[in-house]
Amino acid sequence: MINTVTIIGSINVDNILHIQQLPQPGETIAMSGFSTAGGGKGANQAIAAARSGAKTAFIGAVGNDTNGEFMKTQLVENGINIQAVKTTDEAATGQAYILLQASGQNSIIIDHGANAKVTIEDVDQARAAIAAADFLVTEFETPLPADEEAFKLARAAGVKTILNPAPAITQIPESLLRLTDIIVPNETESMAITGIPVDDEVSLQSSANYYHRLGVETVIITLGERGAYVANGDISELVPAYKVQAVDTTAAGDTFIGALAAELRSDYSNLLDAVRYASRASSLTVQKLGAFPSIPLRKSVLAAQANA
């Protein structure tokens, strides 16, 4: 079975500054290297879904510039349908400035650029791509009204919605959560939404209950090295992470989401297996540098699972 996945989200060129550790306020440091890669939470999720074998379509925007052409080419080369990616003269292609520490941890500064120009009308024009999907995925690097319009169209068409509430914001409209079938926050994002610090299984389940009360059926809270907590009416389970040496954690969460959307059956009958698959995909991403270059193909994920 091959899933069809449609993603509305951001497209960024990532500028990666390699540093030993973050500078203190007032401190000047030298970088040890510089590199660029395709990125953006939405685009990373689309690449992950496509490399995991999903038929993938993207709704978003780039500027009318070299970076925009570069990013569109990368998406097409990965088999992603970019009919609903608009090229705008109103802003430059989005860029991210990533401070990558020797530990593999990163800090990211975003210039949203064209990503901020995605409109409700753009989404309406892509209604066929939304209705054709098994899963519609979004995050918060495109404007909320456009994201919510996409979720409305998905709900009306019986398409399951996956919300990755990243980067963290505190004021998520309840109307958006009510249109969400699966929410996948990390621990920081979850605390920003629920106000509940996530430190043990009791607080994880309390967080899950918060989303359930708003009608979100399935909750997956990603916990980095600790794994992912999965909760729906029948399951409350912590799926452990795979222990690996991280080189660069950029796009780890995005890989998890895209791989999950590609692997999960629409009746959720393989939920825990799909979470294990997504977690394994993510563990491969962190072992390489950059977002697009590090996101694994399905065959690499299956090989890593077989060799475990």
Q: How far apart are CA 74 and CA 12, in angstroms?
A: 12
Nearer to ligand RIB, 153 or 251 (CB): 251
CB atoms within 10 A of CB 178: 12
To the nearest whole angstrom, how small is the minimum distance from the Cβ of residue 124 to ligand RIB?
A: 25
To the nearest whole angstrom, how small is the minimum distance from the Cβ of residue 13 to ligand RIB?
A: 8
Q: In what order do the strands lie in the sheet with 106-111?
A: 33-39, 12-19, 94-101, 106-111
251 interacts with ligand RIB by CB under 6 A: yes
Binding mask 88-127 for ligand RIB (x = CB under 6 A): --------x-----------x-x-----------------
To the nearest whole angstrom, how small is the minimum distance from the Cβ of residue 106 to ligand RIB?
A: 8
DSSP per position, 45-58: HHHHHHHTT-EEEE
Query: In the range 190-229, which residues lie near ligand RIB by CB under 6 A?
Result: none
Binding mask 267-296 for ligand RIB (x = CB under 6 A): ------------------------x-----
Q: How far apart are CA 214 and CA 212, in angstroms?
A: 5
Catalytic residue among 134, 147, 248, 254: 254
Active site residue 254: yes
Is the peptide bond prior to 167 cis by the omega test (within 30 degrees of 0)?
yes
Q: Which of 187, 110, 129, 174 is nearest to 148 (CA)?
A: 174
Candidates 122, 134, 141, 263: give the one binding ligand RIB (CB under 6 A).
141
To the nearest whole angstrom, how small is the minimum distance from the Cβ of residue 98 to ligand RIB?
A: 7
Total count of residues recorded for the chain: 308
41 interacts with ligand RIB by CB under 6 A: yes
Nearer to ligand RIB, 12 or 218 (CB): 12
249 interacts with ligand RIB by CB under 6 A: no
165 interacts with ligand RIB by CB under 6 A: no
Q: How far apart are CA 285 and CA 303, in angstroms?
A: 14
Nearest-5° Cα angle at 70, 66 to 76: 145
* Residue whose token pair is 């404007």: 143
Determine whether 157 is exposed, middle or buried from the number of CB atoms within 10 Å of its CB (0-12, 13-18, 19+): middle
Candidates 3, 4, 8, 14: give the one binding ligand RIB (CB under 6 A).
14
Which of these ranges, 9-17, 27-35, 227-235, 269-277, lies near ligand RIB under the rule CB under 6 A? 9-17
To the nearest whole angstrom, how small is the minimum distance from the Cβ of residue 14 to ligand RIB?
A: 5
Residue 269 is classified by DSSP as: T
To the nearest whole angstrom, how small is the minimum distance from the Cβ of residue 6 to ligand RIB?
A: 19
CB atoms within 10 A of CB 13: 25
248 interacts with ligand RIB by CB under 6 A: no
The residue number whose beta carbon is nearest to ligand RIB equals: 39
Query: Which residues are annotated as catalytic?
Result: 254
